[in-house]
A and B are shown apart, each in its own frame.
Chain A
Amino acid sequence: MPSLKDVKMKIVGVGKTKQITKAMGMVASAKLRGAQSRIERFRPYASKYREVIGALAAKVDGVSHPLLTEHEEKKHCCIVLVTSDRGLCGGFNAAIIAEGLRLAGEARQQGMDVTFLCVGRKGRDAIRKSSYALGTTYGDSMGSVDFALASAVATEVIHKYEDMELDEVWLVYGEFVSMAKQPPASLRLLPLKAPAAESDPDSGPMCEYVYEPSEAKLLEDLLPRYVKVQVYSGLLDTAASEHAARMAAMDNATRNCDELINSLTLLYNKTRQASITSELIDIVGGAEALKG
């Protein structure tokens, strides 16, 4: 049986761990609120883009833009892997990395070589240990996701795609579905698939539109921006998901600490009683001996 002092120390130790996990959980929930509101603020921008590009693409039929065309020979695939910088958020990063590696495996089977472009430290560390090539990395950036970062990532893959250095580009990130659900998601960035035009009965016939400059020119200007929009929404989603996942993980940890403290307290009391009993036996035994 452990000594009383050992058990007491252990209880104090677990109590301190609990304080830390509780604090981390609260920090994560505060950050999650911030991340969620950024998603909210980005939504009008993204939806307007989808609307306009959908309408344009429907109008400019059979347009041959370099970002829309599939390359005939597919040799190089790039996977943009968006993970968090820090751990302690359950299986969140592991799930995203597994999804990325699954995609990479598929691409390899089709005879393509795969390069990873990593945003976030966790993904970078994992890919470094894998058999895949690691391209540009953007570490320590998930704390302050901004449009410039999305812009840099998108510009890099767009340039390489246009120069035929890449034939397919995927984005793998943590989708923010709800507080309890952040599944890994993947999306093909390039070649780009134009969003379907949403037919809005209120907007009237589209043919009245005036375009300046021409539709094709506009599309040329808007498509690269649309890639940026997609990357940015992936980054924002991952940031929010990370905090939600960490909140859940820290909640669990705090609860486990409570359980542990309960069982340790029970053990402490048992040990205390046992020692009192044995002391009593000693005293009673001693007294009997003296009487004798």
Chain B
Amino acid sequence: MATLRLEVVTPDKTVINTDAEMVICPGVEGEFGVLPHHVSLLSALKIGSLRYRVEGQDKEIFISGGFVDVNNNICSVLAESAEHAHDIDTARAMAAKERAEERLARREEDLDEVRALIALQKATMRLQIAGGL
């Protein structure tokens, strides 16, 4: 079966470097799939889950936004953080979620709403992916 190279890179390490049959990316304008020999593409990604299929098995990974570059049958995803479902610290995500919700609920004057919303979104997404196992 035709495959494409999937690389997921964060500032601290290369999280994934494998041959995949299909990749589904959370693009800012909606999810899209990348199959082998996809046309060259550059897209921004939002916080969400990146799904990919290796040897018929579907896998899922959390990414905190970034961008994807597809070129020459190589799909490279650059994200500030990327975590496999089993690597997600659920307790921490839960705490982060509660913190963000509390900040949003209290509506203090110096509230940085955008940041709180992003934190909430990240935490919710992490929990969702970790729970989906």
Interface residue ranges, A against B (CB under 8 Å): 38, 41-42, 44-45, 48-49, 52, 56, 146-147, 150-151, 202-204, 206, 208-213, 217-218, 221-222, 225, 229, 232
Q: Which of A49, A147, A221, A225 contacts B12 (CB under 8 A)?
A: A147
Q: Which of A38, A49, A218 contacts B42 (CB under 8 A)?
A: A218
Q: Which of B12, B39, B71 contacts A41 (CB under 8 A)?
A: B12
A59: nearest residue on chain B (CB-CB)?
B42
A215: nearest residue on chain B (CB-CB)?
B42
The complex places the Cα of A42 from the Cα of B42 at a distance, in Å, of 21
Query: B27 contacts which chain A residues (CB < 8 A)?
Result: 212
Q: Does B41 contact A (CB under 8 A)?
A: yes
* Range class of the B interface residue count: 20 to 34
Classify the interface of chain B: helix, strand, loop or mixed. Answer: strand
Sample of 17 more A-B contacts, CB < 8 Å, known A209-B40, A212-B27, A212-B42:
A41-B12, A41-B13, A42-B11, A44-B9, A48-B69, A48-B78, A52-B42, A52-B69, A202-B72, A203-B72, A206-B40, A208-B40, A213-B29, A213-B43, A213-B44, A221-B44, A225-B80
Assess whether A212 is in contact with B72, with CB atoms less than 8 Å apart. Answer: no
Query: A225 contacts which chain B residues (CB < 8 A)?
Result: 66, 80
Q: Assuming the A-B contacts A202-B72, A221-B67, are A210 and B11 also in contact, with contact meaning beta carbons closer than 8 angstroms in the complex?
A: no
Assess whether B41 is in contact with A212, with CB atoms less than 8 Å apart. Answer: yes
The complex places the Cα of A221 from the Cα of B39 at a distance, in Å, of 22
